[in-house]
Amino acid sequence: MTGDVIWFDEQGQPDPDFMTRQVSKVIFEHLEPQEHDMAFLREIASKDHARAIADASDDGQWLEQSKNIKVSTRQTIKELENFQKFALRLADAIDMLHLPALERLKSENVDVDALATTLEKVGRYTDHALSQIDEAEIIRGRHKKHAGRMVTGAAAECYIELTGLKPTLTVDPQNSAVSGRWFEFLSAIFAVLRLDESPESQARAFMEKNSTKSGV
C-alpha cells in the first residue's frame, strides 16, 4: 500500500524518506534519554520506528480512501449494473463505427476488435457476478477511520521500546484534561503527520483496549 505514496520535500522535490525523517525528529525531541544508550542511538540512526509510524499513517489513509470502503449490498449491485451498462454501450458504439474511424484507431495501434470482444465478455461476467450476490446477506457501508488507530499503535511500540515504559495518561480530575509524556509524544506525531483526528481520543481508546487485554 505504501509503495504508491510519494512524499515531497519542502522544495517540492520527490523524497520517499521525507516523512520518516520528520517522525524521527519527533522521536528524538520527545524520547531522547538523559544519557544516550545504544538502543536509542541505533534507532535514531536506522529510523526503524520512524519508518513504521510513517508507514502506518500511509496505510491507514489508503484504507480510508473511498474506493476501499465497504459499501452496502444495494450499492454494490447498483455499481455493477452501471458498470455493465457502460461496458455494453461502449461495445455497441464500437459496432457502429464506420471504416474511416476504425482505420484511424488501428493506425494508433488500438485493437478495436479485441476491445469489443473484451467489453462483451465484461457484460457476461458482470451478469455472473451479480448472480453470486446474496441479497439476504446485507453489508452496511460505513466510513471507518484507520490512520489514527494504526499510528497510535506504532507510536506506542516505539515509546515502549525506547523508554522501557508503558504508555500512561494523566487525567486532570477538575477538567478531565489529558497530559503526560506519552500523550505529548503522540500529539506531536499526529501533528507532524497532519492527521485530522484527535490524539486524545486515540490515546484513550488505546489505553482502554490494552487495559482490557491485560485484565486491568
Q: pLDDT tens digits for the chain (216 residues)?
A: 444 555 555 666 667 788 899 999 999 999 988 877 777 777 777 789 999 999 999 988 888 777 766 777 888 889 999 999 999 999 999 999 999 999 999 999 999 999 999 999 999 999 999 888 876 665 565 567 789 999 999 999 999 988 889 999 988 888 888 899 999 999 999 999 999 899 999 999 998 888 766 554
Distance CA 15, CA 5 (A): 10
Contact of 52 with 46, CB cutoff 8 Å: no
Residue closest to 53 by CA, chosen among 145, 136, 156, 123: 156
Distance CA 68, CA 47 (A): 29
The amino acid present at 16, given as its one-letter code, is P
Q: Where are the domains of the chain?
A: 2-66+144-214, 70-131
* Single pTM value for the model: 0.62
Distance CA 201, CA 157 (A): 18
